[in-house]
Amino acid sequence: MDWDKLRIFQAAAQAGSFTHAGEALNMSQSAVSRQVSALEQDLGVPLFHRHARGLILTEQGE
């Protein structure tokens, strides 16, 4: 398990968007999105429902 991916996931969950998480972490939105997608791939489950208005945690993400 990659701690950086978990840290980025936590920031995205708290911020409610990849853009705001990226701003908080001094990363681009696309880098945050890639890291969360990689974590989802590692775990084999979706962690967020992605919507135009932001992110909502899935049951697995909670």
Domain coordinates in residue numbering, the chain: 3-57
What is the Cα gyration radius of the chain? 10
Which residue do the tokens 């701003």 mark?
A: 23
What is the average pLDDT across 6-35?
97
CA 10 to chain centre: 7
Q: What is the mean pLDDT of residues 16-22?
A: 96
Confidence grade of residue 53 (pLDDT, cut at 50, 70, 90): confident
Residue 5's CB: how many other CB atoms inside 10 A?
Answer: 18
Structure tokens at 50: 């992605």
Fold of 3-57: Arc Repressor Mutant, subunit A (1.10.10)
Q: Write down the pLDDT at residue 52.
A: 86
